[in-house]
Amino acid sequence: MPELAPAAAWKNVTARYPYAGRDAVGPVDLDVRQGERLLLLGPSGSGKSTLLNTLTALIPQTIPATVAGSIRLFGSAVNECRPDRWAGTVARFFQDADQTLCGMRVEDEIAFALENRAIPEQDIVRKVSEAMRRVGLSEAWRRRRTATLSGGEKQLVALAATLVQEAPLFVADEPTAHLAPAAAARLHHLLLEESIARSVLIVDHRLDGLIGSVDRVAVLGVDGEIIAEGQPAPLFRRNQDLFDRLGIWVPTASRLDAKLAEAGLAPATPPLTIDGLLRAIDAEGMTARAAPVLQNFLAEHSARASLTPGAEIAARLEKADCAPLFGPTILRNISLEIRTGECLGILGANGAGKSTLGASLAGLLRLGSGRRQGAIGGVAFQNSESQFTAGSVREEIVASLDRSLPISERLRTAEDIAAAWNLADLAERHPYELSQGQKRRLALATLTATERWRLLVLDEPTAGLDAAGATMIAGRIEALARSGRGIAVITHDMDFALRLCARSVIVGEGGLLAEGPTVELLEDRNLVARAGLAEPVIAPVRRWLRQVPAC
């Protein structure tokens, strides 16, 4: 029986954008086998999205670039047809949901691809309802305009619009970047459910809920070439040091495995999940010796209360009703304060009102009722592009500085800021040409470039970032809090919140469901489930340590 052609195949492929001094990706040799679930990893700017865009000839036929090498889908060369030829073969989920959506109503967005195939109307209605049900959207969403949705809600609609196509190859670029934990878990299940015979190529940094269902991992290095490839468990153990140096995400269990290895306590079989790691420790009789290692790891990933006595109020809401711009009231009777030197977590499901609360706390939205106290704050929006106005990274940073300063001084300061945020090599690039992670760093660099803002609201600051970028952001947030800024962090990453925010609020059901120490909130399983969240990945470690004597 002849061997099946790969679902996707790149052979010696390179891609270079106009006026660029080097290739954005490649040379790459990579196959996605039929029925395989392949995870593609790499640091920000390594060319992951570029590689995916070559797959259906979006690059170079729609996005200008010079592409060399052979790219084939199910045995056919992609450059022999227009990108729309592959619509029935490849379902593409873009990193930015707005690249998928057309601004129509939810039901129209989901039906769009099916209508283009002239599928009978009754079949379209049935398929749209089924796709909405699978991603957790109620029938009440049908007539909603996508322009009124939150970033995470848009991702859910885009997911439904992609799944409904039932293509044999599903390609997803950071599909969980703006999703709440429960929604992210549902997405991973839908993408990787074994009952459906399809190939999956996925780029994602939320590995802990995903990695157990992946068949193979391929990793791009900083130069855009494949540097590692293989089955997940041995690959992560074998390349842990390399991935750390390059800032590439690895499962939490793999990071703990490396810590145990340093102490000579690594389990015989490399683990992919925290539960699997803890079972191996107990089964191999290493409980007492491993406990201090896990205790130190837990301490490194838990926030310490940093609020100094007598800290001033950076902002306060009193019995406030909050609404998005031009939208109805979605949060009522909100009383909340944040003090200087504090890092406050704002948690909740998609569409709960987190961004609206953050913008109201910063004073950017008019309250329906109640009052706000404190100076206007600065906001790093969920969509970084909405903050960019200049033609280059350097100009963007210069524009954020005090205009009363001489231009020569502003240019020197901009160079220092670019270097500090690892953007120096991108100074001449247009902000829109950057990867999503690079855009995120630029947005935060410009927001924090001066002492203007006493309060900073950071909306999903780590979305789309590689591990190095997330670590950098965490360090900057801690430094800003130590300098006396009040920091509100809106995040779907529960482990990130646990690491940085000693106190958090959980938004849901039209108000604040809970407020208190982050570790206590996230240990309340009923509250976490009610809010559509998930416990931190390291939560089982905390429970395990409580059962170990003297821990």
Number of Cβ within 10 Å of residue 215's Cβ equals: 16
Domain that holds residue 197: 8-244
Q: Which of 244, 266, 286 is the last residue of a domain?
A: 244
Tens digits of per-residue pLDDT, 62-102?
899 999 999 999 999 998 877 777 878 899 888 778 777 88
Alpha carbon separation from 492 to 96, 180, 518, 519 (Å, rounded): 16, 5, 13, 15
Share of the chain above pLDDT 70, in %: 97
Are 77 and 115 found together in one domain?
yes
For the cut 70, the answer to whether the pLDDT of residue 305 exceeds it is: no
Residue 238 binned pLDDT confidence (cut-offs 50, 70, 90):
very high
> Cβ neighbours of residue 430 under 8 Å, at least 6 residues apart?
391, 392, 393
pLDDT at residue 20, rounded to an integer: 83
End-to-end CA distance of the chain: 59
Are 207 and 285 found together in one domain?
no
Residue 3, by phi and psi: left (phi above 0), alpha (psi -120 to 50) or beta?
Answer: beta
Tens digits of per-residue pLDDT, 117-149?
888 999 999 999 999 998 888 888 888 888 888
Q: Is-cis flag, bond preceding 60, omega within 30? A: yes
Instruction: Tell me whether residue 234 is in a domain.
Output: yes
Are 476 and 354 found together in one domain?
yes
Q: Report the range of poorest mean pLDDT among 75-84, 290-299, 333-342, 404-413.
A: 75-84
Instruction: Tell me whether residue 410 is in a domain.
Output: yes
Rg (CA), the chain: 24
pLDDT at residue 1, rounded to an integer: 46
Are 225 and 114 found together in one domain?
yes
Say if residue 455 is exposed, middle or buried (CB neighbours under 10 Å; 0-12, 13-18, 19+): buried
Residue 491 binned pLDDT confidence (cut-offs 50, 70, 90):
very high
For the cut 60, the answer to whether the pLDDT of residue 303 exceeds it is: yes
Backbone phi and psi for residue 38, each to the nearest 5 degrees, phi listed first: -110, 130
Number of Cβ within 10 Å of residue 347's Cβ equals: 30
Strands 76-77 and 66-73: antiparallel
Structure-derived torsion over alpha carbons of residues 498, 48, 90, 85, reported in degrees to the nearest 10: 150
Instruction: Tell me whether residue 550 is in a domain.
Output: no
Are 343 and 388 found together in one domain?
yes
> Cβ neighbours of residue 165 under 8 Å, at least 6 residues apart?
87, 88, 91, 113, 114
pTM here is: 0.88
Number of Cβ within 10 Å of residue 27's Cβ equals: 17
Residue 306 binned pLDDT confidence (cut-offs 50, 70, 90):
low
Question: What average pLDDT does the segment 508-529 reach?
Answer: 95
Dihedral sign, Cα of residue 137, residue 140, residue 142, residue 143: negative
Q: Can you read off the two tokens belonging to residue 30?
A: 């990579």
Provide the CATH number for the domain around residue 38: 3.40.50.300
Answer for the pair 137, 160: CB distance below 8 angstroms, yes or no: yes
Please name which of 427, 451, 28 lies closest in space to residue 223, comparing C-alpha atoms.
Answer: 28
Are 80 and 38 found together in one domain?
yes
Q: Can you read off the two tokens belonging to residue 170?
A: 């599903």
Tens digits of per-residue pLDDT, 29-68?
999 999 999 999 999 889 999 999 999 888 998 899 999 9
Distance, in Å, from the CA atom of 408 to the CA atom of 46, rounded to the nearest integer, reads 33
Are 111 and 187 found together in one domain?
yes
What mean pLDDT is reported for the chain? 90
Distance, in Å, from the CA atom of 178 to the CA atom of 384, rounded to the nearest integer, reads 13
For the cut 80, the answer to whether the pLDDT of residue 400 exceeds it is: yes
For the cut 60, the answer to whether the pLDDT of residue 25 exceeds it is: yes
Instruction: Tell me whether residue 121 is in a domain.
Output: yes
pLDDT at residue 190, rounded to an integer: 78
Looking at the DSSP assignment, which residues form a beta bridge with residue 515?
505
Tens digits of per-residue pLDDT, 150-204?
878 888 899 899 888 888 999 998 888 778 888 888 878 877 765 566 899 999 8
Distance, in Å, from the CA atom of 486 to the CA atom of 471, rounded to the nearest integer, reads 20
Residue 387 binned pLDDT confidence (cut-offs 50, 70, 90):
confident
Are 97 and 141 found together in one domain?
yes
| Residue keyed to tokens 């683990």 | 271
Please name which of 232, 536, 507, 209 lies closest in space to residue 358, comparing C-alpha atoms.
Answer: 507
> Cβ neighbours of residue 420 under 8 Å, at least 6 residues apart?
445
Are 168 and 118 found together in one domain?
yes
Distance, in Å, from the CA atom of 212 to the CA atom of 251, rounded to the nearest integer, reads 10
Are 336 and 458 found together in one domain?
yes
Instruction: Tell me whether residue 272 is in a domain.
Output: yes
Please name which of 324, 471, 384 lies closest in space to residue 96, comparing C-alpha atoms.
Answer: 384
Instruction: Tell me whether residue 24 is in a domain.
Output: yes
Letter string b/e over residues 163-183, b meaning 16 or more CB atoms within 10 A of that residue's CB = bbbebbbbbbbbbbbbbbbbb
Tens digits of per-residue pLDDT, 315-326?
999 999 999 988
pLDDT at residue 308, rounded to an integer: 64
Are 236 and 346 found together in one domain?
no
Instruction: Tell me whether residue 307 is in a domain.
Output: no
Number of structural domains the chain divides into: 3
pLDDT at residue 307, rounded to an integer: 59
Residue 32 one-letter amino acid? V
Distance, in Å, from the CA atom of 398 to the CA atom of 400, rounded to the nearest integer, reads 5
Distance, in Å, from the CA atom of 233 to the CA atom of 440, rounded to the nearest integer, reads 30
Are 325 and 265 found together in one domain?
no
pLDDT at residue 438, rounded to an integer: 86
For the cut 70, the answer to whether the pLDDT of residue 551 exceeds it is: no
Tens digits of per-residue pLDDT, 252-293?
999 999 999 999 998 999 999 999 999 999 999 999 999 999
Instruction: Tell me whether residue 99 is in a domain.
Output: yes
pLDDT at residue 153, rounded to an integer: 86
Question: What average pLDDT does the segment 194-220 reach?
Answer: 86
pLDDT at residue 550, rounded to an integer: 64
